[in-house]
């Protein structure tokens, strides 16, 4: 249910000045409808903008090629703008007076790449511009808005990502990998399938290359830092915007504003710098690949996207590979999942509920995702696994978006507060390595000052080996890894936030029936207390074991001979 709050209230607790509603959607269905609307609008913008870019750059692509290149970037901008617009509209409807804090406009340089745009989308300045653009059409006048000074209760942290300390063994391994990569590159010349930014360990990549007889090759990531991009052509961008508005016609005020945002913020490498991007592609990537496979490059790696678009236009097969859990489960999947399915001729998935789809091949999970183990009742660690989402949503998906994170962290604190005193000394909270500015640890400790947070000195799988019982509060890869590793696991999250596809709800209902999945964090804490003495015994009971194994068989294919299956799919 929508809960509108004033800008001042949100700023004082988060430092965000442009969020005015905890959840502007009202229901999961409204969120799904918003995704569909943004996809349609993005498609129309791409159709018009691609013609202007092709004429300006002299670089032709097919309709599919332009969508592959532009859709992720345009979609990020459209969804970010729509979330702000709807939030402001809901606040106006609720009668909340706007309070703009420090609304002075800081000129924002046009980003050079989509990766740079993503950095902008995590910061304040870009969203300040969006707010000034959208507030008047949403019913607020920026010129008459008051200015207020406020000190955040907890100032947002920088986007710091915790890293492990590197040992001598880690350094030696890195040097060995460099040497092996050079050898692999030499052996893989003329390969028919190229892997790029795919979620496989180095050992797994080598295994695929050797088993395929080096018909499969692996390409290291590109580095566009040395490319000299031209300055943005502001006159061309303005004229392109006007042409786009004329072409689309009949736009409402929000849609017209989005066209202005997209033509202003489109990365240089996708417009004025497209010839330079093409040169970089020609210097780095093979000219005539038969098959291109990636898992994580389809959204923000502009060089890879252009290479794939050109290769696809020449007949290459594009393969996308699943790189995390939650695929096929969420009612509103992340942009990456939607893009990967749209661009790929074939999708290699290991956790899909709709594997009967003709372009989806269900393959075994790569071994590095989990380690089957037997836990021991002598282990005393109660591991709580959390996550974090961006302060300013640039995607509309089934996660706690924007200021909804405040309620998510509140539920986390409710669970911890509900633990019986005897269990508190065993509990370790492992949040997302990147706090994304929420200062989650400080917020949770307001309510439960005794809690200890992980220092990330060990990997997640290493923590699983130490755990007696695991509690996970988000629908991401970690819960599948824990369950597949044989560690007794309890799931707890809000189904209105982490909304599920219709075909998935029955499977989670079964986990709920056997006491594995909970909606209420306090009830989940009581379950932990109830099974703590013998979690393995509870996990091995027939109803629980059957429900968990059936769930994993459907969403986390643990089949043997994984490399043989992958090679067959990649070289067909």
- Other C-beta atoms closer than 10 Å to the C-beta of 39 total 18
313 in the same domain as 198: yes
Q: Which domain holds residue 452?
A: 381-555
| pLDDT single digits (tens) 120-156 | 998 877 887 887 788 788 776 644 344 333 333 444 4
- Other C-beta atoms closer than 10 Å to the C-beta of 225 total 7
Domain CATH code at residue 467: 3.40.50.2000
497 in the same domain as 432: yes
387 in the same domain as 535: yes
Looking at residues 310-330, what average pLDDT do you find? Answer: 93
Phi, psi of 408 (to 5 degrees): -60, -45
Q: Does some domain include residue 538?
A: yes
Q: Dig out the tokens for 261 from the structure.
A: 């945002």
- Other C-beta atoms closer than 10 Å to the C-beta of 542 total 8
Identify how many contiguous H helices and E strands the chain contains and give both numbers: 22, 13
Domain CATH code at residue 193: 3.40.50
186 in the same domain as 61: no
> 127: Cβ–Cβ under 8 A, 6 or more apart, which residues?
18, 80, 84, 121, 392
Q: Does some domain include residue 280?
A: yes
Q: What pLDDT was estimated at residue 108? A: 64
> 528: Cβ–Cβ under 8 A, 6 or more apart, which residues?
382, 419, 423, 469, 471, 490
- Other C-beta atoms closer than 10 Å to the C-beta of 125 total 13
Give yes or no for residue 185 having a pLDDT over 70. Answer: no
> CA-to-CA distance for 451 and 441, rounded, in angstroms?
9
pTM of the model: 0.89
314 in the same domain as 394: no
Q: What angle do CA 422, 427, 431 make, to 5 degrees?
A: 155
> CA-to-CA distance for 141 and 505, rounded, in angstroms?
43
DSSP letters spanning 354-397 = TTTSTTEEE-PPPGGG-------TT--EEEEE-----SS-SS--
Q: What percent of the chain has pLDDT over 70?
A: 82
| 351, 442 Cβ separation under 8 angstroms | no
Task: Specify the number of domains making up the chain.
Answer: 3
Q: Does some domain include residue 429?
A: yes
Q: What pLDDT was estimated at residue 317? A: 97
566 in the same domain as 423: no
250 in the same domain as 339: no
Q: What pLDDT was estimated at residue 101? A: 47
Average pLDDT of the chain?
86
């Amino acid at each position: 249910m929508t809960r509108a709050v004033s800008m001042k209230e949100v700023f004082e607790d988060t430092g965000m000045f442009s969020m005015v509603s905890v959840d502007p959607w009202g229901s999961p269905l409204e969120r799904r409808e918003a995704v569909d609307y943004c996809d349609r609008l993005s498609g129309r913008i791409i159709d018009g903008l691609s013609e202007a870019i092709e004429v300006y750059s002299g670089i032709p692509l097919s309709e599919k090629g332009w969508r592959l290149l532009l859709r992720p970037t345009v979609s990020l901008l459209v969804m970010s703008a729509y979330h702000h617009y709807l939030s402001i509209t809901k606040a106006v409807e609720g009668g909340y007076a706007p309070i703009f804090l420090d609304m002075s406009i800081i000129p924002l340089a046009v980003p050079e790449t989509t990766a740079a745009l993503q950095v902008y989308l995590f910061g304040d300045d870009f969203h300040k511009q969006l707010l000034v653009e959208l507030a008047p059409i949403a019913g607020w006048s920026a010129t008459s808005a008051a200015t207020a000074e406020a000190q955040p209760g907890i100032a947002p942290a920088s986007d710091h990502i915790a890293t492990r300390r590197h040992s001598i063994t880690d350094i030696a391994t890195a040097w060995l990998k460099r040497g092996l990569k050079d050898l692999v590159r030499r052996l893989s010349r003329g390969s028919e399938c190229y892997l790029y930014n795919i979620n496989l360990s180095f050992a797994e990549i080598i295994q695929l290359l050797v088993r395929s007889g080096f018909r499969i090759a692996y390409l290291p990531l590109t580095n566009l830092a040395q490319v000299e991009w031209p300055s943005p052509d502001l006159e061309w961008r303005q004229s392109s915007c006007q042409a786009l508005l004329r072409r689309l016609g009949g736009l409402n005020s929000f849609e017209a504003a989005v066209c202005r945002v997209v033509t202003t913020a489109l990365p240089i490498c996708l417009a004025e710098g497209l010839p330079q991007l093409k040169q970089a592609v020609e210097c780095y990537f093979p000219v005539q690949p038969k098959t291109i496979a990636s898992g994580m490059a389809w959204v923000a790696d502009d060089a890879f996207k252009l290479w794939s678009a050109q290769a696809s236009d020449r007949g290459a097969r594009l393969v996308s590979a699943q790189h995390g859990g939650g695929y096929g489960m969420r009612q509103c999947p992340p942009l990456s999942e939607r893009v990967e399915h749209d661009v790929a001729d074939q999708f290699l998935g290991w956790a899909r509920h709709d594997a009967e789809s003709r372009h989806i091949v269900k393959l075994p999970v790569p071994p590095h995702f989990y380690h089957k183990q037997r836990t021991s009742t002598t282990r005393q660690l109660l591991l709580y696994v959390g996550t974090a989402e961006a302060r300013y949503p640039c995607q509309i998906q089934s996660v706690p978006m924007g200021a909804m994170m405040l309620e998510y962290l509140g539920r986390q604190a409710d669970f911890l507060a509900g633990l019986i005193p005897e269990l508190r000394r065993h509990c370790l909270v492992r949040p997302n390595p990147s706090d994304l500015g929420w200062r989650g640890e400080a917020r949770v400790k307001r309510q439960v000052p005794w809690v200890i947070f992980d220092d990330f000195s060990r990997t997640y799988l290493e923590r699983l080996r130490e755990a007696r019982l695991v509690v996970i509060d988000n629908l991401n890869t970690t819960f599948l890894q824990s369950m597949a590793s044989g560690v007794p696991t309890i799931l707890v999250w809000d189904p209105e936030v982490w909304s599920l596809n219709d075909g998935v709800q029955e499977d989670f209902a079964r986990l709920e029936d056997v006491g594995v999945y909970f909606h209420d964090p306090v009830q989940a804490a009581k379950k932990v207390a109830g099974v703590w003495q013998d979690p393995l015994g509870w996990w091995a009971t027939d109803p629980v074991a059957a429900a968990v194994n059936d769930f994993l068989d459907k969403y986390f294919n643990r089949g043997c001979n994984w490399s043989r299956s992958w090679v067959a799919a990649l070289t067909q």
